[in-house]
Structure 1
Amino acid sequence: MDKAPRTEPEKLSKCPPIIITQKIQDLKRFHKTLKQYIKGEYTTQYSSTQIKIHTKNMADYQTIIKELRDEEVEFYTYTTKDQLRKKLVIKTAAFVTENDLNKQLSEVTRSVHENESPKW
């Protein structure tokens, strides 16, 4: 038997689908434009009311989002785990003053905002 330790492949964050709700008149031109902006692989799913675009990497995902917004196309997507806002619960303590608490919070939030990427 092989006793070598197994290494798990590194998990990549999955890109959420981009769902276009606007009726696309010229699908051929639409696909040509998609291929122009997407560098990697992608898949599309069609239904009677929407088109779903699944990209394989975040760079293509963000590029398509930007282009759809620029062209004012009606669409929606979901928030990735990386982009979810962190929530902080503060339990009151009798020995902490409000000024000290505000000072500490401003230091924490400043360091968080300096390290996070811009949101769409």
Structure 2
Amino acid sequence: MLRYENKTSAFSTFLLDIDKLMEEGLTPVFGLEDVGGYGRALAQFLAEHGQVVKEVNPALSYAERKSHMTTQKSDSWDAECVARILLNKLNHLPVAKPNDLYWRYNNWLLEEMH
């Protein structure tokens, strides 16, 4: 399992490492559960670098977790559930589009409140 910090300075290394793992002729597809909050910067980085990024609704990953006999809550189990959804519903998942207008508006509201 690969682990990286969720910060923009780590994203290039992440993408280079993924590229090294890819067999010739294959194209990675990234599934992210959160493209508006913590996952927004990664989604934006990947999209700007020509990667396919699909948005996985948190309700789908929750249902996937609950569909197994042993339910657990951890980052690695969440990632596996998102990967299962990505594999099973690839053609039905929307392309991730981090909404900068929404992001800017929320940041403006936070600044106005302080």
TM range (shorter): under 0.3
Tell me the TM-score normalised to structure 2 length: 0.24
Tell me the TM-score normalised to structure 1 length: 0.23
Greater C-alpha radius of gyration: 1
Structure having the higher helix fraction is 2
